[in-house]
């Protein structure tokens, strides 16, 4: 499944860049926000004093925090392109039995022009991390970002992609009704994997290095990689300081050479397969159904 090499002879040139002081400041503030509550040096020292169970709980939470950091970082980078509308709130999409049946029983090429009403409801829902709409091309990307897919078996990945495709069938109607009449004529789904494993460019599973193409911002993928590195360095520094503080206050000697990021257990939050809708979604009636295009995110054109 590793189809992760994209060979091009000509570098893509974009009008916008992620290399800006404003974005770097936003990233620093984001790291402060994520780290401060439970991963500061004081918080880690208190966890050490609380015993194995408490420190284990803190370590298990780190992958989830890093995942949310990546998700928010992608949103910040995408906003460097003023042509994009970057949506992160009010994105719960219905996954109806009819839509899922269409996805499971047909090749994506056969339902590229099919769309469903967003107010059809349904017990199951799917909430993407982001919806990125290009106002000029009217192409919308349904984005699910993952810190890692290592713990995902093939069946679980396929199930996630199918739910994304089923949810994508309502996106044009949903955006029009719930997000100020935004218009999407082409809806694509993409899973962004922060680790360069289990990628499938043609099947909509991309490494973050291809984020530049998705948001048309030069250096976007590299910026997220640096964000991850700074986040991990901050935690490692806090861990070292916490160990020194704890050792100085007790007779215990705690090694500061432990890589706290390696010690953190690999966990990924559930993909909301069992989200339920409590009655009507409250989406009002609107325009007539339209013809759209639907499919996986498209790789950069090879030269």
Along the 303 residues of the chain, how does pLDDT read in single tens digits?
455 444 433 356 899 999 999 999 999 999 999 999 899 999 999 999 999 999 899 999 999 999 999 999 999 999 999 999 999 999 999 999 999 999 999 988 888 888 899 887 778 999 999 999 999 999 999 999 999 998 899 999 999 999 999 999 999 999 999 999 999 999 999 999 998 778 888 889 999 999 999 999 999 999 999 999 999 999 999 999 999 988 887 655 555 545 666 666 544 555 554 455 444 444 444 445 455 667 777 766 554
The predicted-structure confidence for 218-230, as pLDDT tens digits, reads as follows: 999 999 999 999 9
Residue reference for tokens 């935690």: 235
Question: Which helix H or strand E contains 298, and what residues bound it?
Answer: none
Helix axes 154-168, 97-105, angle to 10 degrees: 120
pLDDT in tens, 95-135: 999 999 999 999 888 888 888 998 877 789 999 999 999 99
Q: Residue 264 in contact with residue 60, Cβ under 8 Å? A: yes
Cβ neighbours of residue 140 closer than 8 Å, sequence gap 6 or more: 131, 132, 133, 134, 171, 172, 175, 184, 186, 187, 188
Please give the C-alpha separations between residue 207 and each of 100, 197, 232, in angstroms, as whole numbers: 26, 8, 19
Give the predicted TM-score (pTM) of the model.
0.81
DSSP one-letter code for 2: -
């Amino acid at each position: 499944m590793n189809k992760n090499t994209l060979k091009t002879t000509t570098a893509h040139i974009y009008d916008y860049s992620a290399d800006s002081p404003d974005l770097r400041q936003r990233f620093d503030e984001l790291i402060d926000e994520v780290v401060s509550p439970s991963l500061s040096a004081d918080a880690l020292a208190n966890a050490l004093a609380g015993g194995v169970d408490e420190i284990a709980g803190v370590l298990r939470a780190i992958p989830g925090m890093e995942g949310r950091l990546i998700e928010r970082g992608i949103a910040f980078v995408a906003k460097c392109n003023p042509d994009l509308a970057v949506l992160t709130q009010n994105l719960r999409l219905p996954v109806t039995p009819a839509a899922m049946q269409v996805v499971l029983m047909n090749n994506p090429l056969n339902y590229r022009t099919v769309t469903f009403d967003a107010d059809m409801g349904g017990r199951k829902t799917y909430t993407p991390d982001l919806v990125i709409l290009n106002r000029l091309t009217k192409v919308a990307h349904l984005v699910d970002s993952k810190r890692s897919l290592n713990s995902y078996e093939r069946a679980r990945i396929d199930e996630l992609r199918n739910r994304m495709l089923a949810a994508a069938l309502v996106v044009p109607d949903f955006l029009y009704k719930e997000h100020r009449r935004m218009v999407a004529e082409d809806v694509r789904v993409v899973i962004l994997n922060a680790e360069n494993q289990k990628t499938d460019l043609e099947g909509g599973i991309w490494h973050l290095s291809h984020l530049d193409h998705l948001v048309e911002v030069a250096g976007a993928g590299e910026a997220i990689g640096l964000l991850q590195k700074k986040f991990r360095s901050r935690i490692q520094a806090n861990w070292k300081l916490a160990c020194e503080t704890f050792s100085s206050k007790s007779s215990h000697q705690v090694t500061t050479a432990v890589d706290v990021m390696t010690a953190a257990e690999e966990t990924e939050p559930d993909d909301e397969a069992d989200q339920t809708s409590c009655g009507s979604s409250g989406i009002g009636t609107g325009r007539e159904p339209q013809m759209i295009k639907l499919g996986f995110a498209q790789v950069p054109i090879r030269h």
